[in-house]
Chains A and B, each alone.
Chain A
Amino acid sequence: MLIWEAYKLLGPADGVVLGTTRILPRTTDLAMPHVWDMIGRLGEPVTRSPSAQPLWGVVALAALTTLGIAAAGWLVGVVVGIGLALVMQRWRLAEWGLLPWIVISQTVPLIAFAPVVKSWGSRVEIGSFEWQDWMSVALIASYLAFFPIAIGALKGLQSPDRIHEELMQSYAAGYWTTLVKLRFPASVPYLLPALRLGAANAVIGAVVAEVSTGLQGGIGRILIQFAGQASGDPSKAWAPIFGAIVLGLVAAGSIALLGVMLRNYRRTEEAV
């Protein structure tokens, strides 16, 4: 924030240009509004119409909508990711067969398949169940979220020491017992960072998917909408960006909270 204002104060109005390339941005109010203007703008109404809500309210509502979609996507990602990890942990062959595809899946550009998912989704209709547009967005969010979770969960499920596995074997404990009493608890230290990455990915996926599928009501939509109004109201375009940042923080914060609740599972065996 200080750097922002200092550069705005000291930098040349037309930015720094090297040859024909501008390597530092312009410092006009249009390109770089004052921080206090951006914050002040949040408290003002969205439009000049007398019935308009304050800008922060609109952004918060949009952020909540996106958070809900991202959370749904994250949950699907958790289920799919842990499911894949379980299969890969159980069968070595599955690990060899699946892992490369999981990695490749992440190289497909999100923008490319978002409209495809939407058009598939619009054709899904099972009885009274009808595919909603937000579900396409959640699906895309889950597509980004499942990857770190699958990798982290696999590492975690494989993490118990040989001695612990043999101990369970000596107790004649079966696969499921070992899974519940040993593998899941042991995977917590690996799973938590994976869940956090998954949450961040789900938020990004949701925002990007909202933009590329044109879903109304989320933060991705108003991001585009307000950016279009930036020439007349430069501070306004920054509001959804703040909203997106807060969104990310909330998502990461919930995982941190989860980590606090599971702190006993993050102990290590060695004496301090």
Chain B
Amino acid sequence: MRDGSGFRDGAGAPPQPASGAVSAVEVRGVDKVFETRTGQVQALDAIDLTVAAGEFVSLIGPSGCGKSTLMRLIADLDDPSSGTLTVFGKTARHARLDQEYGIAFQSAGLLPWRTVAGNVALPLELHGAPSAARSARVAELLDMVGLTDFADRYPDQLSGGMQQRVAIARSLAEQPRLLLMDEPFGALDEMTREKMQSDLVRISAETGAAVVFVTHSIPEAVFLSDRVVVMSPRPGRIREIVPMRLGADAKRAARTDELREERAFFDMVTAVREALHGGAPVGTGPRGMETR
């Protein structure tokens, strides 16, 4: 399949919420061209994608496939060259100004001069939340990510995993209906990573937020997602959208570490891997991919 247009009504259609609410993200025919000194680079080509409210969607693909660029367009950190993009029915810019999404990057990006609590409180502070409500919300969030005892520490006193958890708590501060995450666990070791994935599954189930999750790791995408969007590079296109049976059948909260050892999990990993190679059965992951 050349692009994702067929998935709107195809096998990979998102599970529609009963309320019929607007979808979290609607991407229609989006192109992104970067002007560089050596000419134009087509980063994204004719992208169509719908993310339903409350749905967990991963973007996966080799380096240069534009998955981070797509996420940045949704976040309104960049503008699409053509096509339309809406977030909860609003323009991306409007959605950003309304704080419809929370965002987390590969590095935690905490402000080093603020304590853990101060970092989590930052978005609330910027939007003028009253001080009492702010500290109550911060306590709640720190409890959710299990860092209550570290509220008064500074980022340099935390491990990488803890910093990333603070960043996730911060992204959840405004109770967004959409979470954008750009390889948030990419710099973590395997053990921490699995722990964080389980935490994220739990948190996203608790908050009911839709998630757009950019990753390099196939098992990570499979474990977390309702659907996995497989992208190919130069120009960046959606090659295939693989629905995760794990997501369709089971509730997200039911995803535990046991899932990682089930047969269905490995079948899904294989499905995604084959999609990355354009359908051909393969033994190893493509270049630039991590198979952990």
In the complex, the chain A residue whose C-beta lies closest to that of B102 is: A170
**Separation of A185 and B119 alpha carbons in the complex (Å):** 13
Which of chain A's residues have a CB closer than 8 A to the CB of B111? 164, 182, 185-186
| The stretch of B152-160, B195-203, B208-216, B272-280 that contacts the partner chain | B152-160
User: With contacts A269-B156, A270-B156 known, is A172 near B109, CB below 8 A?
Assistant: no
Among the stretches B14-22, B82-90, B121-129, B220-228, the one at the interface with A is B121-129
Is B136 among interface residues, defined by CB-CB distance under 8 A? no
A267 to B156, CA, bound (A): 7
Task: Tell me how far the C-beta of B269 lies from the nearest C-beta in chain A, rounded to whole angstroms.
Answer: 30
The listed residue (A173, A177, A267) touching B155 by CB distance below 8 A is A267
Residues of B within 8 A of A186 (CB): 111
Cα distance A177–B97 when bound, in Å? Answer: 14
Question: In the bound complex, how far is the Cα of B154 from the Cα of A267, in angstroms?
Answer: 8
Contact B110 A272 (CB under 8 A): no
A182 to B125, CA, bound (A): 13
Flag A122-137 by CB within 8 Å of B: 1 or 0 each. 0000000000000000
Inter-subunit contact B96/A265 (CB<8 Å): no
Question: What residues of A have a CB within 8 angstroms of the CB of B97 in the complex?
Answer: 172
Q: A181-B122, A271-B159 are in contact. Are A167 and B109 (CB under 8 A)?
A: yes
B259 at the interface (CB under 8 A from A): no
Whether B156 pairs with A177 at a CB distance below 8 angstroms is no
Main secondary structure of the interface of B (DSSP, over half): loop
Judge whether A271 and B77 touch: CB under 8 Å.
no
Taking CB as reference atom, which chain B residue is nearest A188? B113
Does B101 touch A at the CB level, under 8 Å? Answer: yes
Q: How far is the CA of A270 from the CA of B107 in the complex (A)?
A: 10
B-side contacts of A170, CB under 8 Å: 75-77, 96, 101, 103
Residue A49, interface by CB 8 Å: no
A132 to B75, CA, bound (A): 57
A171 to B156, CA, bound (A): 23
Which positions in A face B, CB cutoff 8 Å? 161, 163-164, 166-173, 177, 181-182, 185-186, 188, 264-272
Of B76, B97, B99, B109, the most chain A CB neighbours within 10 A belong to B109
Report B-chain residues with C-beta under 8 Å of the C-beta of A172: 96-97, 99
Q: Which residue of B lies closest to A268 (CB)?
A: B112
Dominant secondary structure at the A interface: helix
Query: Contact residues of B with A, CB < 8 Å?
Result: 75-77, 96-97, 99, 101, 103, 105, 107-113, 122-123, 125-127, 154-160, 163
Q: How far is the CA of A105 from the CA of B55 in the complex (A)?
A: 60
Give complex CA distance A46, B117 in Å: 60
Q: Which of A161, A166, A181 contacts B77 (CB under 8 A)? A: A166
Which residues of chain B are near A182, meaning CB under 8 Å? 111
Q: How far is the CA of A164 from the CA of B112 in the complex (A)?
A: 11
> Which chain B positions have C-beta within 8 A of A177?
126
Contact among B101, B103, B109 with A164 in the assembled complex (CB-CB below 8 Å): B109
Q: CA–CA, A55 to B262, complex, Å?
A: 89
20 contacts between A and B (CB under 8 A): A164-B109, A167-B103, A167-B109, A170-B75, A170-B96, A170-B101, A170-B103, A171-B122, A171-B123, A181-B125, A181-B126, A182-B111, A185-B111, A185-B113, A265-B113, A269-B112, A271-B155, A271-B158, A271-B160, A272-B156
Q: Assess the A271–B163 pair: CB atoms within 8 A.
A: yes
Residues of B within 8 A of A269 (CB): 108, 110, 112, 155-156, 163
The answer on a CB contact under 8 Å between A163 and B105 is yes
Chain B residue at minimum C-beta to C-beta distance from A168: B126
B123 cross-chain contacts in A, Cβ below 8 A: 171
Choice from B76, B101, B113, B163 contacting A267 with Cβ under 8 Å: B113
B109 touches A161 (CB 8 A): yes
Collect the chain A residues with CB atoms within 8 Å of residue B126's CB: 168, 171, 173, 177, 181
Min CB–CB distance B40 → chain A (angstroms):
23
In whole angstroms, how far apart are the Cα atoms of A181 and B128 in the complex? 13
Task: Tell me the complex Cα distance, A171–B99, Å.
Answer: 7
